Structure 1
């Protein structure tokens, strides 16, 4: 333990970034200002990350806590906000900073911010410019830019990264007195939990700028912002998802069903069209049985029996194609046809036939995307839901869109638009 009370407390949230976590911790150790304490709040990372963190625990200024959170509990709160709230009561410093496992402080970061606040004791919150490096899976840069701190911010939400801020304990206590907690942990705000906290700080004071780059952040393909970007807020069947450990799941009947490489191949899935997702996102689905030859054929698959008849498996029913025109009309391809026995088909009840002609009586196949001018719609829950092009691209659904006329569009019920997950999370937040 250090003999002197640390002046600055730093809270580092960590989850499965073994390629960066050592640089992050060392960026704190290399600070020119030495009177700090660091709380590493790890969210039950895999051993490769934990083993790196442990190497730094001989520094008496560094404290470590593992949440041991289980996968099926992850989605229930905004995890990094929860970890920060657990750490804040443990801190001793008069000034508080935050850090993530893909961001490094420059050596004079603490000294610069502390000097600013000590020279202006009436100010409680400062923020700095940030160097953003976008990198590929090998951490090689693709592009970079500077997020500048150039003005006093009375609305810092969705503008300032939480690694670029230092605030006083004084304003933190005011936040707690008003809101009865610190950071907002509601899972609605996973994507922008810091923005919710900034709103609380802005209740009392603006953010004052230090127009110098004092931290460097890496935006990797596996950063949660990138993983969450353009994910739909509404559950959609037929999507393949991959978690951070490489496990693949099929969303089928709104459940996550584990699927192996062999089953991906057998059921004619494109293995280049698996969507990488953040860990909590997968756990919002109840786990279903693994895809296997002993289980029922998954939904949204095209099958052919011994007679050569084609069916679309949808909603646990088999929907016959009336003719090849209907098959082509809805952009199905021969490459996705799975040969099955009549016995396997008999497990499904008969569903409504698929006709090529659109009318008031047509029941469109689920999961298909339609385009009218530059407007996209996806068929789900027996409705056409407007959906953004970027979302379709994220889900690998943009390739075979089906043109539809204005007249034909009028035949079908239009459901509410499907918003992207970040947009859904960034809804206007109202405090009581």
Structure 2
């Protein structure tokens, strides 16, 4: 098995079939999909099982209690057999050659530990725009935000093992990937972003509402503070630690508008 695709799912029954179908339609075929249901209140688990019954390379597991995304992804990693591990969200849609392009890159570029790519922002009705992060973001980029769009990444399984997966704590209920990138750079790993879109990424005002609690904001602030320390970031970057708090104080609709006007990276 070359590629293990890991997916956490919670109350995503309406979008999960489209997400899974986009994986089934990949031009690259040597993969397994591991879906972890986080005790959904809808029929997400049953939808996932219906695919697992028809496809031997789809596996469905379930948490004993609702434990959030970081825990779900680590649960998936326990079963991953692939040389490479790809991320996927249960409400996103992979472009058909996503896996093929990423496998080809990692096969021919052993110096890179992870490869990501661009995303097509989708509000549930239309694709609004396509955005990218820099080709090879350095650790300083962490002051601005995440250097790789999480649902687009494909990482060497050996690197996931070294990083010990995702950190599970109150502060990483959201932003578990941000926390991982700090540890990634602290270990001296390098990553690359293909300058082409790899998937359609769900991005709407309701998504921002999910991230608006003070607990989430304070957790993100602590993650940045700890991350800056572990990466030995220059002191001039430390004012960026307050970025989550400033964002929390602003109206969510305004943050959503700003996000759609300007983004970390370049616009297509």
For 2:196, the equivalent position in structure 1 comes to: 212
Q: Write the distance in 2 (CA, Å) between the matches of 1:423 and 1:68.
A: 26
Distance in 2, matches of 1:97 and 1:55, equals: 22
Pair 1:60 & 2:48 matched: no
Instruction: Provide the residue aligned with 1:13 in structure 2.
Output: 8
Match of residue 150 from structure 1: 134
- Separation (CA, whole Å) in 1 of partners of 2:15 and 2:37: 14
> How many corresponding residue pairs?
223
Shift of 1:425: 5.4
- Structure 2 gaps of 5+ residues are 232-268
In the superposition, relative to structure 1, how do residues 220 and 44 fare at CA in structure 2: closer, same or farther (>3 Å)?
Answer: farther
Aligned partner of 2:225 in structure 1 is 428
Query: Which of the pair is proportionally richer in helix?
Result: 2
1:132 aligns with 2:121: yes
- Provide Cα deviations, 1:42-89, integer angstroms capped at 9, x if missing partner: 10112432232122012000000111315xxx5xxxx21111112212
Q: Which residue of 2 aligns with 1:161?
A: 149
Relative to the length of structure 1, the TM-score reads 0.48
Inter-CA distance 220–45: structure 2 relative to 1 (3 Å threshold) = farther
Larger-gyration structure (1/2): 1
Aligned equivalent of 1:117, options 93, 103, 106: 106
1:22 & 1:118 partners in 2: Cα distance?
Answer: 30
CA distance in 2 between counterparts of 1:170 and 1:140 reads 38
1:426 positional shift: 4.7
User: Matched residues in 2 for 1:16 and 1:221: separation?
Assistant: 18
Q: Following the alignment from structure 1 to structure 2, what is the Cα–Cα distance between the partners of residues 147 and 31? A: 22
Aligned to 2:244: none
CA RMSD for the aligned pairs?
Answer: 2.2
Q: Provide the rounded CA distance (Å) in 1 between the counterparts of 2:86 and 2:166.
A: 13
Work out whether residues 221 and 227 of structure 1, in 8 Å CA contact, stay in contact via their aligned partners in 2.
no
CA contact (8 A) 1:126 1:208 kept: yes
Q: Which has the higher contact order (CA 8 A, sep 6+)?
A: 2
Q: Which of the residues 198, 210, 228 maps onto 1:227?
A: 210
Are positions 1:194 and 2:190 aligned together?
no
CA distance in 2, matches of 1:216, 1:54: 24
Counterpart contact for 1:220–1:226, Cα < 8 Å = no
Residue of structure 1 in register with 2:257 after alignment: none
TM-score normalised by structure 2 residue count: 0.76
